[in-house]
């Protein structure tokens, strides 16, 4: 007996998704199917991509402060400084300068102008050993650094040079200046402030350095030109500029390194 199809049930309809208009996709390309995306194959020799940390913007925090905090959290030198026990990433700047110019010697007397937060002091104390002497000065409060003498006062104060000489107990082998004046946003004003600090540091260096000593000073783009650079070349046998790798690439800071002090004029 022939079986007839049941005509009482309506035929099943196939569900169709919404048709995508290819003309509306980017460059008329075939739209991708939804679902899990397959991981693209990695190129040979490609370095692993580091995940950057995101910083939430707080109500009472300025946007510039948020950017600075994000840069700090994602800075490899900041992470390395914490891992190795340095107080700041600036320690690596001095280590690089010493590797290039052989500035730090055992038993030396060193002055660090603008020593906060103490990273350079740590490097100096480790280099000079028990026979050396390291003195730092800053108007900001700096936690004690074992092996270093720290003066909490303004370097531009009248009695600052005398206090530094007393703490040194003799002529200095190296004068370091990592001082930087607060910026105003006005280029001409900021330039004058930077040059004034560098000149004050050089005045002190010429007064306390022994013959053959060295002077390192932070400057910015164009900060060690003209009269200051002429003075350095006149009083030292070699004057060079250097930008350590630990300095941020977007920063205009550089260091002028003067070696071979010719002695008192």
CA atoms within 13 A on the CB side of 172: 30
pTM value surpassing 0.95: no
The yes-or-no verdict on residue 108 having pLDDT over 50 is yes
What pLDDT is recorded for position 57? 52
Domains of the chain are: 56-85 (no CATH), 88-261 (3.40.50.150)
What pLDDT is recorded for position 9? 60
Q: Considering the chain, what percentage of its residues have pLDDT values greater than 70?
A: 66
What pLDDT is recorded for position 8? 60
Q: Considering the chain, what percentage of its residues have pLDDT values greater than 90?
A: 51
Band of residue 80 on the pLDDT scale cut at 50, 70, 90: confident
Angstrom distances, CA of residue 47 to CA of 18, 39, 78: 41, 16, 21
- State mean pLDDT over 97-105: 97
- State mean pLDDT over 154-158: 95
The yes-or-no verdict on residue 30 having pLDDT over 60 is no
The yes-or-no verdict on residue 21 having pLDDT over 60 is no
The yes-or-no verdict on residue 22 having pLDDT over 50 is no
The yes-or-no verdict on residue 31 having pLDDT over 70 is no
Which of 244, 84, 81, 107 is CA-nearest to residue 172?
107
Helices (H), the chain: 63-73, 76-84, 91-101, 119-128, 160-168, 187-208, 227-235
Contacts (Cβ under 8 Å, ≥6 apart) of 112: 120, 121, 124, 134, 135, 136, 137, 176, 178
Mean pLDDT of the chain: 79
- State mean pLDDT over 60-72: 47
Would you name the residues annotated as active-site residues? 218
- State mean pLDDT over 136-158: 96
What pLDDT is recorded for position 87? 82
Chain segment 220-249, per-residue pLDDT in tens: 765 556 788 999 999 999 999 999 887 766
Chain segment 162-212, per-residue pLDDT in tens: 999 999 999 999 999 999 877 777 777 877 888 899 999 999 999 999 999
Q: Looking at the DSSP assignment, which residues form a beta bridge with residue 256?
A: 217, 241
Tokens of 109: 């007397």
What pLDDT is recorded for position 17? 53
């Amino acid at each position: 007996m022939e079986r007839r199809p049941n005509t009482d049930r309506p035929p099943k309809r196939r569900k169709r998704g919404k048709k995508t208009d290819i003309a509306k996709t980017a460059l008329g390309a075939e739209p991708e199917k939804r679902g899990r995306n397959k991981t693209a194959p990695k190129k040979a020799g490609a370095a692993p991509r580091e995940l950057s940390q995101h910083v939430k913007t707080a109500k009472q925090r300025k946007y510039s402060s948020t950017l600075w905090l994000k840069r700090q959290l994602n800075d490899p030198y900041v992470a390395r400084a914490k891992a190795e026990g340095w107080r700041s990433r600036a320690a690596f700047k001095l280590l690089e300068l010493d590797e290039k110019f052989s500035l730090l010697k055992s038993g030396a007397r060193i002055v660090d102008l603008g020593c906060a937060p103490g990273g350079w002091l740590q490097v100096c104390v480790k280099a000079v050993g028990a026979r050396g002497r390291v003195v730092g000065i800053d108007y900001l409060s700096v936690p004690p650094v074992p092996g270093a003498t720290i003066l909490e006062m303004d370097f531009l104060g009248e009695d600052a040079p005398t206090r530094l000489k007393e703490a040194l107990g003799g002529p200095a082998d190296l004068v370091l200046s990592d001082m930087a004046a607060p910026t105003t946003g006005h280029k001409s004003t900021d330039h004058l402030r930077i040059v004034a600090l560098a000149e004050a540091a050089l005045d002190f260096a010429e007064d306390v350095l022994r013959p053959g000593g060295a002077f390192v000073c932070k400057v910015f783009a164009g900060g060690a030109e003209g009269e200051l650079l002429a003075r350095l070349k006149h009083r030292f046998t070699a004057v060079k500029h250097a930008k350590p790798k630990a300095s941020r690439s977007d920063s205009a800071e550089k260091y002028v390194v003067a070696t071979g002090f010719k002695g008192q004029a």
